[in-house]
């Protein structure tokens, strides 16, 4: 079972919810931080790191002595990552998407596969919770290939020890966010009852509903008085699985860098109930998929 925790915008409490969900999950679980531009799930789960590997992307390296300046590579590349200036071949590895097309079309064998570092895949465990994350290299713009590397490591971990997965997705609704929630049995959209929260929830709903995966909402900072988010959920038939109000013990636990569910008492109860309802919805989706 795979639960993706997402949000239309940053700062809604997405990682707070993901960390606490993993913390209260009552079955083997891996917490996967796919917010590779700003990973911070580890700050709450504090995993013991047991491995890391560098993720790279295949980019062309040119041997100018073999290049005949035919222009086939430049014509093919949709990203302007390789071009001809007169008879001079120019490559821009930072703009390359690693499709390999230019290497395939070069008739002179002037291009070979080089490597551009994307970042790191890091894994370990926080007690019983398996953990994996990606960290994008500073200055690197392309996160989806690194996210795929995190996914590969995640699959290796699951092959060794089957477990449910809680994904901390990047905020927003661009390609990285969609790549992170792909394959989930349930997408939990975290929002807050403010006009900004409503605006971004609308965007998230629009983007994620095309995936055909059940969607549900968690209202963080509940009780601010703005009702638009609730009305939207009612109109769209979106179940609200939890409302998390401001709470002193929750804030204290957050400031200590711990999953807020570790505050215990009613705070822990909210997340246990959220986990129960999320599991129920995701299991329904799995059942439907099995009968399809």
The verdict on 110 binding ligand SF4 (CB under 6 A) reads: yes
Q: Between residues 83 and 272, which has the closer beta carbon with respect to ligand SF4? A: 83
Q: Is 71 in the site for ligand SF4 (CB under 6 A)?
A: yes
* List 70, 211, 224, 240, residue binding ligand SF4 (CB under 6 A): 70
Sign for the CA dihedral angle at 181, 189, 31, 146 comes to positive
Among 25-33, 108-116, 133-141, 261-269, which window interacts with ligand SF4 (CB under 6 A)? 108-116
* Binding segment toward ligand SF4, per CB under 6 A, in 79-87, 152-160, 211-219, 253-261: 79-87
Among 72, 182, 211, 224, binds ligand SF4 (CB under 6 A): 72
Q: Does 45 bind ligand SF4 (CB under 6 A)?
A: no
Is residue 126 near ligand SF4 by the rule CB under 6 A? no
Identify which of residues 49 and 108 has a Cβ nearer to ligand SF4 in the complex.
108
- Return the residues of window 170-229 that contact ligand SF4 according to CB under 6 A: none
Q: Is 244 in the site for ligand SF4 (CB under 6 A)?
A: no
Position 145 contacts ligand SF4 (CB under 6 A) = no
Q: Which is nearer to ligand SF4, 11 or 101 (CB)?
A: 101
DSSP-assigned letters across all residues of the chain: -EEEEE-SSTTSSHHHHHHHHHHH-SS-EEEEE--TTS--HHHHH-PEEEEEEEEEEEEEEE-TTT-----HHHHH-TT--EEEETTEEEE-GGG-----HHHHH-TT--EEEEEEEEEEEEEEEETTEEEEEEEEPTT----HHHHHHHHHHHHHHHHHS--EEEEEPPSSSSHHHHHHHTT-SEEEEEE-SSHHHHHHHHHHHHHHHTTT--EEEEEEEETSS--HHHHHHHHHT--EEEEEE--HHHHHHHHTTS-GGGG-HHHHHHHHHHHHHHHHHHHHHHHHHHH-
Closest separation between CB of residue 54 and ligand SF4, Å?
A: 19
Q: How far apart are CA 129 and CA 217, in angstroms?
A: 24
Does 104 bind ligand SF4 (CB under 6 A)? Our answer is no
Q: How far is the CB of 107 from ligand SF4 (least distance, A)?
A: 6
Q: How far is the CB of 92 from ligand SF4 (least distance, A)?
A: 8
Enumerate binding residues for ligand SF4 (CB under 6 A).
59-60, 62, 67-73, 76-77, 79, 81-82, 84, 89, 96-102, 105-106, 108, 110-111
């Amino acid at each position: 079972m795979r639960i993706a925790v997402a949000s239309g915008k940053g700062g809604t409490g997405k990682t707070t919810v993901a960390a606490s969900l993993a913390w209260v999950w009552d079955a083997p679980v891996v917490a996967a931080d796919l917010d590779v531009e700003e990973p911070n799930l580890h700050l709450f789960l504090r995993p013991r790191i047991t491995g890391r590997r560098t993720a790279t992307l295949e980019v062309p390296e040119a041997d100018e002595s073999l290049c005949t300046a035919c222009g086939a590579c430049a014509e093919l590349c949709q990203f302007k990552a390789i071009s001809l200036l007169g008879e001079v071949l120019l490559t821009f590895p930072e703009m390359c998407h690693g499709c390999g097309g230019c290497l395939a079309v070069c008739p002179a064998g002037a291009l070979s596969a080089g490597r551009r570092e994307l970042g790191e895949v890091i894994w370990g465990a926080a007690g019983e919770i398996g953990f994996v994350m990606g960290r994008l290299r500073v200055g690197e713009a392309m996160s989806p290939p690194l996210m795929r590397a995190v996914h590969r490591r995640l699959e290796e971990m699951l092959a060794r020890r089957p477990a449910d997965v809680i994904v901390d997705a990047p905020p927003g609704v661009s390609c990285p966010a969609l790549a992170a929630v792909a394959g989930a049995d349930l997408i939990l959209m975290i929002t807050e009852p403010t006009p900004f929260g409503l605006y971004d929830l609308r965007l998230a709903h629009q983007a994620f509903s095309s995936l055909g995966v059940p969607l549900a909402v968690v209202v963080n900072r509940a009780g601010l008085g703005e009702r638009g988010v609730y009305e939207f959920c009612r109109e769209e038939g979106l179940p609200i699985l939890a409302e998390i109000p401001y709470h002193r013990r929750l804030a204290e636990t957050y400031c200590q860098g711990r999953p807020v569910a570790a505050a215990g008492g009613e705070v822990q109860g909210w997340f246990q109930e959220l986990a129960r309802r999320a599991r129920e919805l995701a299991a329904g989706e799995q059942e439907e998929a099995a009968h399809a």
